[in-house]
Structures are given as structure tokens and as C-alpha cells.
Structure 1
Amino acid sequence: MKPKIAVVGSFNTDLTVFTPRMPAPGETILGGPYYTGPGGKGANQAVAAARLGAQVSMVVKLGQDYYGDQALENLVQEGIDTRGVIRTADTHTGVAFIVVDQQGENMIVVASGANAQLTPADIDGVRDVITGADIVLLQLEIPMETVAYTAALAHAAGVTVLLNPAPAQPLSADLLAHVDYLTPNESEAQLISGLPVADVVGAEAAARWLTAQGVRTPVITLGAKGALASGAGGFMHVPGRKVEVVDTTGAGDAFNGALAVALGEGKDLAAAVAFANTAAALQVTQRGTAPAMPRREAVESFLTQKDG
């Protein structure tokens, strides 16, 4: 039985340019190649989950523009249920401006557009999508009040809530109390907890703090070092996978989409995190965000391989 995952979040059209290095403030440099493609944390995670075998519904607000039309078409092509797609003529579809250097590191500026107009009233209009899911997957590229409202609605309905707290910002105790799985990276965990998170030891301290705030299962991603999870059995560090990095954009989205799928399938925490680590590792070997999300067969094949 495929797990039912409702992703409530953003869509951004990614405008990406590759450069030899990052420009300094006020500097103009020549770059290329350049491409335009589907992105946004919410849509990226929805695509990741759908490609990995889940039954995915997307709740998102798009503009009545060309990019919005392309977004809707992309979601349909990925087999994602679009009952929760809302269109508005008040503003544009979200856009992300992305610069990627030769080491695969990136800088991103987002013009939120319609994403910033997704409201609790919109969520009420599609509440059956939320309450009928096995897992609700959230990020922070939509208004915080909408994130909190959705988490509370899902929690009250007995639906598992997975929150990827990105882009980083402080989170209220009330929101954290409605979250089952929280998946910050190192910088996000540091901002939320106020504790230094530069290694596994720091991640353990941040995870303890998050647990004290009511989060049932913190999962802190550590880039190439893997992830640190805190479950009923205590802390577990699940190592990352060794790959040749091409573009780190979207790695966290691959991780979160995959984690939601694995948990929805009933995998234990260690196996779920290992599955998510593998999906993220495969994603960074390709350029792009949503188009680079790996398929189920590739993840399962890579899971059985040993790092060289």
C-alpha cells in the first residue's frame, strides 16, 4: 500500500546559473550554463516523494501566469494530486534565483510571490487532503501562521507531521508541540536551539533541546556526515554516502521527501534515515532540483552498494 503524503508548501520556478566562483559584493562575473526549471522546497519534496513511490498530494498557491501554468503541468506529469493547487491573480508565481559554483555550493534568493499568500483559510478549503494523509510534510517558504495551522490540524486528526524548518527561523513552542519529526540542518538547528551545531556532539545537544520543547523525533542533517536522529532508543548517527558532488541545491528536499516515504511505509527510524541519506546523496550528483530527484530503483540499488 503506497503511503499517502500531503505536502503543504511552495513552488518556485528556479532560475539557475553556474559560475566558476561566487561573485564578491558589487562584482560582475561571467557564468553559464543557465537553465529554468521547477523548484521550491514544497514542490521539490513532493516530486521526491512521488518518484520514490508515495501517493502524493500538493497544497500550494500559484500565480495566474506562465510559470504557474508550467508548475501545474509539472505536478501533473509527476503524478501528483493537484486538488490542493490554488491560483491567484494578485501576484506572481514564486521565483528562485540560484547561483552554483564549481564546488557545487549555492546561493539562493527567493521572490515568494503567491507562496506568501497561502493562508489558513486556503488550508480549510482543502482540509480533506490534510486529514486524509498518512503524513503531512511542511517547510517554511509559506507564512508561519499557515504552517502552524496546518500542523495543528494534522495533529488533531492523528496525522504524522514532518516539518523541514527551512529557510531557518525561530519556531514557537506551540508549533513544535505539534511536530512529530523535525529535520533541521546544522545551521537551522543552531538558530532554533541557540546552541552551536558543528558536529555530531553539537547535534546531540540540539536534539535534546528540541525534544524538551515537545518535538517527538528530531532528525538533524549533517551534510556529507549524514544525519543524527533522536528516537525512543536514544541517539543514532546514520553516516552519509560518498558521492561526487555536482550541485547541492535540493539535497535537503530529497532527504525530506525520502524520509516521509520511508516513515509512511513503516520503516524504523534508522532504516528511514539511511534511505533518506541515500536519496540525498544521489540527488547531489546531478544538476538541478526537482528534475534531479532520484527514482526508487536508483535509491534501492545504491542502498545495497558499499562506499568505495
Structure 2
Amino acid sequence: MVTRVVILGVFVADTAYRAARAPQMGETIMGEGFALGPGGKGSNQAVASARAGVETHFITRLGRDTFAEMALKTWADAGVTPAITQHEDGYTGAAYIFVEAGTGNNAIIVCPGVAGSISPADVDARAELISNAAVFVTQLEQPMDAAMHALQIAREGGATTILNPAPAATLPDGMLALCDYVTPNETEAEALTGIAVTSLEDATRAAVELSRMGARAVVITLGEKGALYHAGGQSVHVAAFDTGPVVETAGAGDAFNGGFAAALATGLDPVTAVRFGCATASISVTRSGTAPSMPSLTEINALLQRQ
């Protein structure tokens, strides 16, 4: 059985600033900490998938600079196989992350650099890899036409397709119909459906609407409340895991998506795969950083056995 996960997305270097609050325009405040590390939704998801024990390939563009070197080392350490091109005419992406010290909540600005020009032609160059995946994942940090084209190739090749619609954006007609799973968080679900998600009942209504819009199955991630799975007119709530104090929530959604994709690729049923993804995310929020916070398969399995 093919267990390969292939992910199209963006790598960025995360520059994370921790402070009691965000500054107002024109204001300077003193911070409590700074960290530089690897990030980007697609790259984080690839790291999470690989560390969860599954063969994982990541498709993107990099510059030729220090941040590109960081990306290549991150993937080598995690066991991700890069499927990349490198370009002299632009920079590798970077992100500003503000972390609220008291809660661990975050706000992020992403500049994708050369990955912002990923094109359908780049996707065509990796068509065989995408077609032969067990699970294909993409998000919306790279251009929409590239994501759409990749989903089409994955669907035609028989791969299970996952769209993580982040950051929130208006989707082109027919995109959700290419998705075996769509995995928004509460904010992204509201952006797609117009339904504010503040409760499980709201999440169910939003999931029903996303199904009506074309998605075969919907997983709405709910932060500390876990995730809601909806397919075939039935909804299942999967609770988050108690793993101790939250240090940082940045990257939790990526941890979930990477873990979920890895679990599906190994043949787990969807609800069990959602539980695996929730365990992956629950561990990640107890650590600083995004890619560095992704847990190993041993850690995930130990948590699943305890709870």
C-alpha cells in the first residue's frame, strides 16, 4: 500500500516576538522574547507528517539565501524529501509572529517570497509525484491557481485530497468539489460560509454548509475544543488532549493537518485520523515555535494510549 504524503505549500522563516500585548500604530513597546525558526503552513505540515512516521514530500520554491539553508536543514532533520526549485531573483519567505505572552495566542504576517510565484507549471513538473501520493495536501499561502491545479492532478491520480483553506480566502468555483477533506479553523470556516463558529452547534452548521458547497468531508479545528468531523450527514466531535500548559498556539493547525494526513495515509479511518491529528496538535502547543514543536510518532502514540 502506498503511504506517501505529498504537500504543496510555502516555507517561511518565522520571526517570533513575545510581548504582553501588540503595539499600537506609532508605538514602540519592549518585548519579552524573540525566536527565529522554520515555518510556513505547508512546510510545517510536511514536518509534522514526516515526524509522524510517514514518507513525506514537499513541493515549493526557495531563494538562494540563509533562510533557504534553514529550510533544507529543517527538512533533512525531520525526514522530509524536498521537491523544490531555487531561484536567484527573489527571497525565501519570512513571517512576523506576535505571541501574546499571557495566553500564547498569536497574530501573523506572511511574506512568501519566491514561493508566492509558484505556478501551475511548477505543479505540472511534479505531476507524477502528486498523482502517486496516498494523500495530497495544500493550503492557500501559494497562488490559488497552483493549488487548484494540484488538487485536480491529485484527484485524477486517485490520491486522497486535503485542502487546508488557510489563510482565509474566497475559493474559486469547483475547488471544494476536488476535496476529500477541507480543514478550516473557526475563522476560516466563517469566512467560507458566513457562519460565525463559537460553539459546536455553529461548527456543525458550518460543516453542513461546506458539504453543501461541495466538500466530501469537513474537519473544523476548534483549538482547545478539539475538532469536528462531518461527512455523510453525520458529525463527530473529537476532543483535544490534556497535555499541560499552553506555551504557543502558532503551528497547532499545521500540526493537526500534518498528523491527520499521515494517519490517513497509513489507512486509519477518518475519525481515528482526526483523533491522531488532535493528539499531534495538543503536544505541539506545549512547545515554542512551529516546525520545532512537531512531535514524533512515539510521542503521539504514547499520548493516544494514555487518553
Gap regions ≥5 residues in structure 2: none
* Percent identity between the two aligned chains: 40
Contact 1:61 1:88 survives alignment (8 Å): yes
Aligned twin of 2:165? 165
Q: Secondary structure at the match of 1:136?
A: strand
* Pairs within 5 Å for 1:78-227: 78-82=78-82, 84-102=83-101, 103-227=103-227
**What is the rounded CA distance, in whole Å, between the counterparts of 2:279 and 2:248 in structure 1?**
15
Which letter maps to 1:226?
A: G
Which letter maps to 1:13?
A: A
**What is the rounded CA distance, in whole Å, between the counterparts of 1:237 and 1:193 in structure 2?**
19
Contact 1:231 1:269 survives alignment (8 Å): no
Aligned-residue CA RMSD (Å): 1.3
**What is the rounded CA distance, in whole Å, between the counterparts of 2:183 and 2:12 in structure 1?**
21
* Pairs within 5 Å for 1:1-308: 3-82=3-82, 84-102=83-101, 103-232=103-232, 234-242=234-242, 243-306=244-307
Between 112-121 and 73-82, report the one with greater CA deviation: 73-82
Q: Secondary structure at the match of 1:46?
A: helix
Q: Secondary structure at the match of 1:15?
A: strand
TM-score by length of 1: 0.96
**What is the rounded CA distance, in whole Å, between the counterparts of 2:297 and 2:218 in structure 1?**
25
**What is the rounded CA distance, in whole Å, between the counterparts of 1:297 and 1:231 in structure 2?**
30
Which letter maps to 1:305?
A: R
Contact 1:63 1:92 survives alignment (8 Å): yes
Between 228-237 and 199-208, report the one with greater CA deviation: 228-237
Deviation at 1:70, TM superposition (A): 2.1
Contact 2:134 2:160 survives alignment (8 Å): yes
**What is the rounded CA distance, in whole Å, between the counterparts of 2:137 and 2:27 in structure 1?**
39
CA deviations over 1:146-170 (Å, ceiling 9, x no partner): 0001001111111111111100111
**What is the rounded CA distance, in whole Å, between the counterparts of 1:254 and 1:71 in structure 2?**
17
Contact 1:173 1:213 survives alignment (8 Å): no
CA deviations over 1:152-211 (Å, ceiling 9, x no partner): 111111111111110011112311110110000001000001122211111111111111
TM-score by length of 2: 0.96
Which letter maps to 1:135?
A: V
Between 72-81 and 123-132, report the one with greater CA deviation: 72-81
Contact 1:2 1:55 survives alignment (8 Å): no
Between 85-94 and 64-73, report the one with greater CA deviation: 64-73
Number of residue equivalences: 305
Q: 1:2 to 1:251 in 2, by over 3 A?
A: farther
Deviation at 1:233, TM superposition (A): 6.6
Deviation at 1:2, TM superposition (A): 7.0
